[in-house]
Amino acid sequence: MDNEAKRLDVWAMHVPLPGPKINPEKWIKHARITFDVDPHIGFSLGAKFPTNSPLKMELTHLVQIRTIPEALPYIVTPKFVDEDSPLLK
């Protein structure tokens, strides 16, 4: 598993190519599958596609129910701070 996580870190340094886009439902499915296998893989996916809103929202949802140090950027967001979210208590 550690080897796969390292390979995904390399994979995260991608060059965007034109082509068909993945629909939001598939991004959510990919986030859930990778997070179930290993949360670090899910975070690698989020790092590869940092502007993908459906992916980021699903990762945020998934980390809210777990205690994972790497999850902090998904929990402590400017929006949650501005809203004084109970999740930050």
Task: Report the predicted TM-score, pTM, of the whole model to 2 decimal places.
Answer: 0.58
User: What is the residue extent of each domain of the chain?
Assistant: 2-13+22-88
Instruction: Tell me the per-residue pLDDT of 7-20, one tens digit each, with 9 for 90 and over.
Output: 766 665 665 666 66
The rounded Cα 87 to chain-centroid distance in angstroms is 18
Q: Residue 76: how many CA atoms within 13 Å on its side-chain side?
A: 8
Distances (CA, A) of 52 to 4, 12, 22, 67: 22, 14, 10, 23
Q: Which residue positions in the chain have pLDDT lower than 70?
A: 1-2, 8-20, 65, 67-68, 87-89
Question: How buried is 74 (Cβ within 10 angstroms: 0-12 exposed, 13-18 middle, 19+ buried)?
Answer: buried
